[in-house]
Amino acid sequence: MSERTEIAELGEFGLIDHLTKNFEIQNVSSVLGVGDDAAVIDHFGKQTVITNDLLIEGVHFDLMYTPLKHLGYKTVVVNVSDIYAMNATPTQIILGLGFSNRFSLEALDEFYEGVHAACDHYGVDLIGGDTSSSQKGFIISCTAIGEVTPDTYVKRSTAQKGDLLCVSGDLGAAYLGLTLLEREKRIFLESPGVQPDLEGEKYIVGRILKPEARKDIIQFFAENGIQPTSMIDVSDGLSSEILHLCKDSELGCVLYEEKIPIAEDARQAAFKFNLDPTACALSGGEDYELLFTVKQDDYDKIAANTDISVIGYMAEAEAGSHIYTKGGNKFPITAQGWNAFNKQ
């Protein structure tokens, strides 16, 4: 960055005006946006869905290898992904930021550029926020609001025995991208002259730095009359999310290792790092894919979408939750997915 404007020069309200002036309202339901005590949303005939995430520097992101623009984009993605996981359409976000005086206005502008790009892509309106100083680091609080046709939202707790367990896209790549970035950071800290070696790793790095939420899957459900019986987004790793669906629905499940979708680029990266690709998918997290269950009758509809994989099925609670490996073994699924395997 060539310029540096001290945020103190603008004052809090000048700053909010500056940061939000390029956001145009996209939804009729956004009756009143930024600039008052609260925002107003009009959702006649719809139900409102709302979620909040707190992202803290040093815990959720590392600014050493995360461009602020990407961080802004990802902030929106992480939140709208939670709205999609309810089978709802995101319509608004509210952003609260805390930052120390180490941040310049140009740095915040970069962050908001990413927020803006994501708002455009997902069709959501930034309708409010709060900015504050922090003693240390960058703190992001994002609230996302969405709407859904009454009683078509999808909970985690309503899967039924025999339902098919499905996941969108592919898994594990974000974790491998993070592993690569952390390795390059260590190398850089030890030998600052060495340039990062990210050649050929665009896919996995993109998955961690600029993930996308699965708007298309929700649209596919609507267009094909599919009502998932339960759903959750994959933010913490496949095994943790599967166990959420099982616990909340009071069921067990059967998962087939060979059915877990893993991109070829991720598989190659895993081998380079001496990691098991399946372990990365089970425990890696940050993929922001959708994990859901559908009735067996919907199998044909689901199979028509090549970006959805059927990876198992729901079983009765007494049967527990298990994964069948490619080698023909059966292990209980744990929140740290691969731990059970490591003990063998």
Q: Is residue 127 at the binding interface for its own copies, with CB under 8 A as the rule?
A: yes
Point out which span in 1-9, 61-69, 140-148, 176-184 binds its own copies (CB under 8 A). Answer: 140-148
How far does CA 336 lie from the centroid of its chain?
Answer: 18
Q: Which of 62, 106, 248, 276 contacts its own copies by CB under 8 A?
A: 248
For the bound state, the minimum distance from the C-beta of residue 237 to its own copies, rounded and expressed in Å, comes to: 13
For the bound state, the minimum distance from the C-beta of residue 98 to its own copies, rounded and expressed in Å, comes to: 5
Q: Is residue 36 at the binding interface for its own copies, with CB under 8 A as the rule?
A: yes
Closest alpha carbon to 141 in 152, 149, 158, 129: 129
Strand, helix or coil at 15? Answer: helix
Binding residue count for its own copies, defined by CB under 8 A: 65
Backbone CA torsion sign across 27, 31, 35, 36: negative
Separation between Cα atoms, residue 186 and residue 172, nearest integer Å: 22
Beta carbons of 310 and 232 less than 8 angstroms apart = no
Q: Which of 102, 136, 183, 330 contacts its own copies by CB under 8 A?
A: 136
Q: Is residue 89 at the binding interface for its own copies, with CB under 8 A as the rule?
A: no
Q: State the maximum Cα–Cα separation within the chain, in Å, rounded to a whole number.
A: 65
130-160 burial, b if ≥16 CB within 10 A, otherwise e? ebeebeebbbbbbbbbbbbeeeebbbbeebe
Q: Is residue 28 at the binding interface for its own copies, with CB under 8 A as the rule?
A: no
What is the CB neighbour count within 10 angstroms for residue 188? 15
Looking at the Cβ atoms of 138 and 257, the one nearer to its own copies is 138
Q: Is residue 43 at the binding interface for its own copies, with CB under 8 A as the rule?
A: yes
Q: Is residue 5 at the binding interface for its own copies, with CB under 8 A as the rule?
A: no
Point out which span in 58-66, 172-180, 251-259, 274-282 binds its own copies (CB under 8 A). Answer: 58-66
Q: Which of 6, 24, 120, 130 contacts its own copies by CB under 8 A?
A: 130
Separation between Cα atoms, residue 34 and residue 18, nearest integer Å: 12
71: exposed, middle or buried (Cβ count in 10 Å: 0-12, 13-18, 19+): buried
Question: 167 forms bridges with which residues in the sheet?
Answer: 291, 309
Closest alpha carbon to 267 in 256, 276, 257: 276
For the bound state, the minimum distance from the C-beta of residue 141 to its own copies, rounded and expressed in Å, comes to: 4
Q: Which residues are annotated as a binding site for ATP?
A: 112, 129-130, 156, 235
Q: Which residues are annotated as a binding site?
A: 37, 51, 53, 60, 82, 112, 129-130, 156, 233, 235-236, 286, 338
Q: Is residue 53 at the binding interface for its own copies, with CB under 8 A as the rule?
A: yes
Q: Which of 135, 191, 195, 306 contacts its own copies by CB under 8 A?
A: 135
Q: Which of 1, 24, 58, 296 contacts its own copies by CB under 8 A?
A: 58
Q: Which of 16, 34, 49, 213 contacts its own copies by CB under 8 A?
A: 49
Residue at 171: amino acid letter: L
Separation between Cα atoms, residue 295 and residue 229, nearest integer Å: 7
Positions touching its own copies (CB under 8 A) are 13, 31-32, 35-45, 47-54, 56-60, 82-83, 85-86, 88, 92, 94-98, 127-130, 132-137, 139, 141, 143-146, 148, 150, 153, 155-157, 231-233, 244, 248
